Amino acid sequence: MKCPKCQYERTSHDQHVVPGICPACGIAYTKWKNNANTASVQRHSDEIDQDYTFTQKLWGTLTYVPDKVDATAFWGRAALLAIFVVWGFNFILHGVDWTHIGASFLHNVNLPFHEFGHVLFSPFGRFMMFLGGSLFQIMMPLIALFSFSLQMRDNFAAAIMLWWTGQNFIDVAPYIADAKYRALPLIRGMGEESHDWGNLLTMLNREESAQTYGDISFTIGALIMLLSFYWAGWILYQQKKILDEFGDSRGR
């Protein structure tokens, strides 16, 4: 057992000293570790709470990396990021293709949030009721993003939520592009009159621009996905530097 404070390593000659107590400096290993963790979190919190602008505080929060890194968790995150990169480019390279986007199981994951959005925004009028489905579908992963980053201080998970946000922009792109034709199948056999973006762009007298707006939504989604790759990769790069310098910190 190596002391986390003075790095003294116990030997067979230290059997007379109570386990969990450093024979050299006398600290209790567990208590010292807990105090060090608390001090580290408090120090970072104090730095964030200094007289910085909101943008500086937000940047400090979104770029936060813990002082300790679990090697197993790190490599698991690296593998997970590789999967999301491949998955993301699979969406991006297919373009605004309903047969590919709609066939993804994520479309069925997004759908309940889309439908709830209609209910949530219905008190704000007919226009917002139609818009609310796509709007809340995009808002949901953003809510999760800020929960992971601000409350749980897990920016890697937040970056994955940013990926999901981009995927939702891509998910609604074919729906927007279909506004002029209203040909996509709707849930529960609803008719053309229930087509969200058909109604929205008709209200705005922009039906002829449906494909353009669909392309814009897709492009925004693709760029957000690329940003999520960079953010998650940067977090892992910082964690890898900590691993290389201090090693696996699970038991220290």
Query: What is the full per-residue pLDDT of the chain (252 aa) written as tens digits?
Result: 677 667 777 777 667 666 777 766 766 767 766 766 665 555 555 555 556 677 777 788 888 998 889 999 999 999 999 999 999 999 999 999 999 999 999 999 999 999 999 999 999 999 999 999 999 999 999 999 999 999 899 999 999 999 999 999 999 999 999 998 888 877 755 556 778 999 999 999 999 999 999 999 999 999 999 999 999 999 999 999 999 887 766 534
d(CA 174, CA 116): 20
Q: Say what the pTM is.
A: 0.76
Domain boundaries, the chain: 12-50, 63-246
d(CA 116, CA 224): 24
Q: With CA atoms as reference, report the closest residue to 195 among 172, 213, 216, 218.
A: 172
Q: Residue 249 in contact with residue 87, Cβ under 8 Å?
A: no
The pair of structure tokens assigned to 195 is: 């087509």
